[in-house]
Amino acid sequence: MNTLKKLAGQTAIYGMSSMLGRLLNYLLVPIYTRVFMPSEFGVVAELYAYIAFLNVLLTYGMETSFFRHYNKENGRAQVFSTAFFSIFSTSLLFLGFVLLLRTPISELIRYSHHPEYIIFVAAIVVLDALGALPFARLRADNKPKTFAFIKLFNIGVNIGFNLFFIIFCPYVFNNNISPDFLQPVLDKVYNPDIGVGYIFIANLIASGSTLLVLLPSVLKTHLYFNIHIWKRMIWYALPLLLAGFTGIINETIDRILLKFMLPADVSMTQLGIYGACYKISIIITLFIQAFRFAAEPFFFAQASEKNAKDVYALVMKYFVITCLIIFLTITLYIDIFKHFVGSDYHEGLKVVPILLLANVFLGIYFNLSVWYKLLNKTIFGAYFSLIGAVITVVLNIIWIPQWGYMGAAWATLICYFVMMSLSFLFGRKYFKVNYDLKSIALYFSAALAIYGLSLIVAAQAEVNVLIINSFLLLSFVAVVYRFELYMKHKRLSGGQHQVKDTKNKDQSENN
C-alpha cells in the first residue's frame, strides 16, 4: 500500500499538469465552438490528427526505450545524449523535407489555399519532439514538480496567445477601440483572414517557449553520440514505433477519413461536430495520461520486487474503478457537460458514451501492456496495435459512408476492446498476473446497468433527472465501497485461518 500511495502521489502531481493543465487547455474548446463554425473547427480536428501521427513518428519509441536503458546502463548521461542526438537529427531532416515539399503536400490533403498550415504543423511537431526527451528525463529522475511546472507554463502560454489572437484582437479590430500606439502593433501581428490558423500559431509559440525553458537542462549535458547504446535503444524502440504509429491510427484516423469519405458539402461540418464532441470524451483520457506519466517508470522500477504482480493486479482494479466513476459522472451529467461545446455541435453528443467506454478499454490495455514491456517483447505491442489499426481502418471505411461519425465512434470502441482482449490473453501465457476479474466484471456490469437505467429515467419528462442520476452515481460508489470492504474482510479472515491451520499443523508435528 505504501508503494501504491507513492504512485498515487506522483499521479496527482503529474495530473496537475496533464489533467488540470490539459483541462484548462480544453476550456478553449467552448471558445472555438462559439467563434468558429463546425466546418472551420473541422480544420482544427483534422490537422491535430496529423500532428498526433507526426509526434509518434518523430519520437519513434525513444521515450520508452530511454526509460528502459536509463535504469540499466551505467552512463545515464550517455543514454540521454545519444537519444536526444538521434531525435534532433531526424527532426531536422523531417523539417527540411516538409519545407521542400510543402506545396504538393498541401495539395494532397486539400489545403492548397493554405500551405502555411503545413509549415505550422511541421514546426509544432519538431519542437515537441525535441522537448520529449528532456521531459522524459524529468520523469525518470523523479522530478514531477519540475515536470508539472514546465507543462503548466506551456499550457499557460498557449491559452494566453489563443485568447489574444481569437478574443482580444478581433474585439479590438471590429470595434476600432485600440489606442494609437497599439494599432500599428496589431496591424503587424493580426490578420482576420488567418482565422483558425491562429490556433496553430499560438501552439507554435507555446512549443517554442517550452523548448527554450528545457534547453538549459539539455546544454548542461555533454552531447555526443554512442553508436553501441543507440543500436540497443533503437532495436528496443522500433517495435514501439510500429505499435505507437498503428495506435495513433486507431486514435485519429477516423477524423482524417471523415473528410475524404463523406460528401464534400457536409464532410468538414461532420468532422467539426465529431471532433468537438470527441473532446468531451477525452476527459477520461486526461486521467489515463496522468496515470501513465507516473505508472510507466513505476512499473519498470517495481519489476524487481517480490510482490510486483500483486501490485500490478491491485493497480488495475483501482484504475478500472476510477475510470468507471469518470464514465458515469460524464454520462449521467451530460446535460451539464454538453455546454462544453456550442449548441451547433450538440447533435453529436450521442457519440460521447461510446468514446468514453472505448477510452476505458484503452486505459486497461495500457495497464496490461506491462508484461511485454518488462519481458522485452515489445513486438507484441506492435502486433496488437497493427490488428487494431486494420480493424479501425476497415470498419471506418465500411461504416462512415453509412452512419457518418457514429460509425467512426463504434469502430473505435471495437478496436480498443479487441486490443485489450488480445493483450490479456497473451499476457496470461507469458506473464500471468492474477487480476481480480470477478470484481472488475462486477463493477463493469454495475456501471453499465446504472447508465442504462439513467437512459430510462431521462425518457420520463416528469422526473428530476439530475437528482435521480446523482442518486445512481452515489449508489455505484456505495456498491464499490461495500464490496471492497467485504473482500478485504474475506482476505483477512482467510489469512487468519491460514495462520491458525499452520500453527495447529506445527503443534501436531511437535506432539
In whole angstroms, give the CA distance from residue 438 to residue 340. Answer: 36
Residue 268's alpha-carbon distances to 37, 44, 391, 458, in angstroms, are 10, 10, 24, 31
- pLDDT of the residue at 190: 86
500 CB contacts (<8 Å, ≥6 apart)? none
Instruction: Kindly state the cell numbers that stand for 348.
Output: 453529436
Q: Which of 446, 264, 455 is nearest to 352 (CA)?
A: 455
- pLDDT of the residue at 355: 93
| Residues lower than pLDDT 50 in the chain | 499
- pLDDT of the residue at 16: 62
In whole angstroms, give the CA distance from residue 165 to residue 188. Answer: 12
> How buried is residue 482: exposed, middle or buried, by Cβ count under 10 Å (0-12/13-18/19+)?
exposed
Question: What is residue 499's three-state secondary structure?
Answer: helix
Backbone angles phi, psi at 177, to 5 degrees: -115, 5
What's the DSSP call for residue 1?
-
Q: Which of 345, 352, 347 is nearest to 34 (CA)?
A: 345
Q: Are 391 and 418 in contact (CB under 8 A)?
A: yes
- Structure confidence by residue, pLDDT tens digits, 107-125: 888 888 888 999 999 999 9
> Is the alpha carbon torsion for 310, 311, 316, 317 positive or negative?
positive
- pLDDT of the residue at 496: 53
Supply the Cα-derived Rg of the chain in whole angstroms: 25
In whole angstroms, give the CA distance from residue 165 to residue 110. Answer: 25
Q: What pTM was estimated for this model as a whole?
A: 0.77
Residue 420's alpha-carbon distances to 61, 72, 238, 240, 405, in angstroms, are 20, 29, 21, 17, 23
Q: Are 230 and 60 in contact (CB under 8 A)?
A: no
Backbone angles phi, psi at 298, to 5 degrees: -65, -45
- 70-90 b/e with 16+ CB inside 10 Å = b? beebeebebbbbbbbbbbbeb
Q: Are 335 and 465 in contact (CB under 8 A)?
A: yes
In whole angstroms, give the CA distance from residue 49 to residue 272. Answer: 12
Q: Are 14 and 146 in contact (CB under 8 A)?
A: no
Q: What is the largest CA-CA distance in the chain?
A: 103
In whole angstroms, give the CA distance from residue 479 to residue 442. Answer: 10
In whole angstroms, give the CA distance from residue 257 to residue 18. Answer: 28
Instruction: Kindly state the cell numbers that stand for 47.
Output: 490537422
- Structure confidence by residue, pLDDT tens digits, 36-66: 999 899 999 899 999 988 998 999 888 888 8
- pLDDT of the residue at 499: 45
**Three-class DSSP labels, 411-455:** HHHHHHHHHHHHHHHHHHHHCCCCCCHHHHHHHHHHHHHHHHHHH
Measured CA angle at 94 (ends 91, 99), to 5 deg: 125
Helix (H) or strand (E) holding 136: helix 116-140
- pLDDT of the residue at 72: 64
Please name the amino acid found at residue 113: H
Please name the amino acid found at residue 109: I
